[in-house]
Structure 1
Amino acid sequence: MSALAIRSRCRARSPWMPDEWCKTMRNVFAVARKDLVVEWRARLLLVRVLPFALLVLVLFAVALDSEALLERAAAGLVWLAAMFAALLVVQRCYDIETADGALDMLLTSVVEPSRVFFGKLLAVVGQLLVLVVVLVGGAVVLYGVRVDAAGLVLLVTTVVTAVIGLASVGTLYGAVVAQLTGRDSLLPLLAMPVLAPLLIGASRATEAAFGSQTIDLATGWAWTALLAVFAVVFTAAGAASFATLTEPDA
């Protein structure tokens, strides 16, 4: 499709949107749609990642075998399982691209690298949101946690901000190791230390949303604010450095 046709379609849908913004959004959603279609056909999330994450929750439920202890540990276990699953999702995302050189072709096309980053980030966020919602449901069933109306608002906000932060770190470090030998083991080694603060913040905020006696909602919102800062910083860093990180000699 020509540039004129793209601008015409964008103008027809959003007359107020500048041409460059319109083109950016189209590129971002095109990359995200590509990744999601590939995932939907491969069924990695449904066949491997989601069962693995739920199995982590079940194993801890059996190992701890204490209702009071499980209620206190529920939030941390949810995000621990989410972190491990996120690394699998990111690895799969880049394995597909590097196997046949698709990533190099994509980056040498007319699409700016930052748009590729945001597209991949959006695809990972979409998958992780589904995953975390299922994990929270699993925690409610297995661990007996309860969420009231005020806690639900905090929980939704925490999930969204933490997932964006988790996906931004994963997408950024996935690009770092994408063209390296042994990337499957390098990604966890590089990403997990960086994700430790996010894991702590998300666990504390989720614990407050679950109605814990040791942390109130106000403190939970403070942790969520830190999660938002974390997400913004790593999203900006990823967009700014993606082109350099994915260069053949980077």
Structure 2
Amino acid sequence: MTPPPPSTRRAVSALLRKEVRLELRTLQVIPAMALFSITTLIVFHFSLQANSVEGALAAGVLTVTLLFSAILGINRLFVADHEEGGFDGFLLAPVDRTAMLVAKALALGGFLVALEVVAVPAFGLMLLDPNLTGAALWQTIVVLLLADVGIAVVGTLVGALAIQTRARDLIVPLIALPLLLPVVIGTAKALAPTFAAAGAGALPGRWLAILGLYDLIFGLLAYAVFDFLLED
């Protein structure tokens, strides 16, 4: 695959800077995602009726919390462009349409990382035993970064599709959650040894490979169909 031309790279950079400036000015997406994640962890803390969780249960709680919080970010990803005419302006610009895909996916990925900076320590403090330090922390970072790529790509694709409809708040979870099911399973399975009561075990290479393959397949799929989504 040939590298993108300079005009596409400049378009991606300009769009990404716009997303960052918009979020820094309004502070709508990241605080909402972080607050939702904390609320969800509190609900898990009381509903499970346990002082701490470990292993597969801990991995499932963290994965589900992050996924549901990510849905909020996906819902808001294209709202400003849709309401302020950003789509029309971009379609008239002489740049590759996939520049918006790359910029939006990078922005959503950044939102997810910011979310995890808040949610993962809160999860470790409220629910996890033993504490998330050392090898367990680095393993968690590796797995979550792989998951973030898949969520960012699929979320951008679903967000672009849902923004064209009136019921976008309903369409996003209905489409995104089934598509992200492999990410949920792969992330939970990969993190289960990390959260074991006896200490962090080795990361399962098979599930890391599945997450990586998912990211590659859906990245190529999004690249192929995003242009048609914007046109429609």
Q: TM-score, normalised by structure 1?
A: 0.84
Asked whether the 8 Å contact 1:166–1:195 carries over to 2, the reply is yes
Larger Cα-atom Rg = 1
Alignment correspondent of 1:4: none
Matches within 5 A, 1:15-54: 21-54=5-38
Q: CA RMSD in A?
A: 2.2
Deviation, 1:212, is 5.2
Q: Which residue of 1 aligns with 2:155?
A: 170
Query: What is the aligned partner in structure 2 of residue 81 from structure 1?
Result: 65
Is the contact between residue 28 and residue 115 of structure 1 (CA under 8 Å) also seen in structure 2?
yes
* Equivalent residue for 2:211, pick from 222, 227, 238: 227
- CA offset at residue 215 of structure 1? 9.4
| Residue matched to 2:54 | 71
Quote the offset at 1:192 in angstroms.
0.5
* Residue in structure 2 matched with residue 158 of structure 1 by the alignment: 143
> What per-residue deviation string (whole Å, max 9, x for no partner) do you get for residues 190-216 of structure 1?
111111111111112122222356994
Shift of 1:151: 3.1
Q: 1:200 aligns with which of 185, 189, 200?
A: 185
Look up the equivalent residue of 2:225 and give its one-letter code.
S
**Residues 17-40 of structure 1 deviation map (CA, whole Å, 9 limit, x = unaligned):** x99543332221221111121111
The amino acid of 2:29's aligned partner reads L
- 1:154–1:205 CA contact under 8 A, matched in 2: no
Paired with 1:158 and 1:20, the residues of 2 have a C-alpha distance of: 28
1:176/1:212 CA distance change after superposition, 3 Å? farther
Gaps of 5+ in 1: 1-17
Alignment check: 8 A CA contact 1:168 1:235 kept: yes
In the alignment of these two chains, the number of paired residues is: 229
Alignment check: 8 A CA contact 1:35 1:123 kept: yes
Q: In the aligned structure 1, how far is the partner of 2:198 from the partner of 2:209?
A: 21
Gaps of 5+ in 2: none
2-side partners of 1:150 and 1:46: how far apart? 27
- TM-score with structure 2 setting the length: 0.90
